[in-house]
Amino acid sequence: MRANAHLTFRGECEAAFRFYEQTLGGQLITMLRYGDSPMAASVPPDWRDKIVHATLSLGDGSLLLGADVEPEHYQQPRGFYVLLTVATANDAQRVFSALAEGGRVEMALQKTFWSEAFGVVVDRFGVPWEVGCERM
């Protein structure tokens, strides 16, 4: 069994996943647009360039999945965080700073009893993250 996060966006999925690819060092595997899918006829013309499915491989078997949801069906993420564990405190600082740019820091990156660096941030796309490092 494996669990992966599937994020929804209100039309910003492509921008978010290109940002995540650059920031997290993953590889974008899928970026399928509504207009290139069997759903093309069922979405408004201005929505056909939006993303029906995106997949970002993070290299350790983890996947980040995403899609654009029409505005009337979109809901702000709540009740969860995407937990991102990186190798070192320097990696945590780099990723945390990038995610925080244009977003909102909920807990500054800091040393805790379980991690050399741990922080909580909601990025500019509204996705909540917990960032920590493996090494103590």
Domains of the chain with bracketed CATH: 5-73 (3.10.180.10), 82-133 (3.30.720.110)
Q: pLDDT per residue over 73-124, tens digit each?
A: 888 888 999 999 999 999 999 999 999 999 999 999 999 999 999 999 999 9
Q: What is the pLDDT of residue 59?
A: 83
Residue type, 135: R
Q: What is the pLDDT of residue 44?
A: 86
Three-class SS of residue 59? coil
pLDDT-wise least confident of 41-45, 54-58, 91-95: 41-45
CB 131 within 8 Å of CB 109: yes
Q: What is the pLDDT of residue 136?
A: 62
pLDDT band at 65 (very low <50, low <70, confident <90, very high): very high
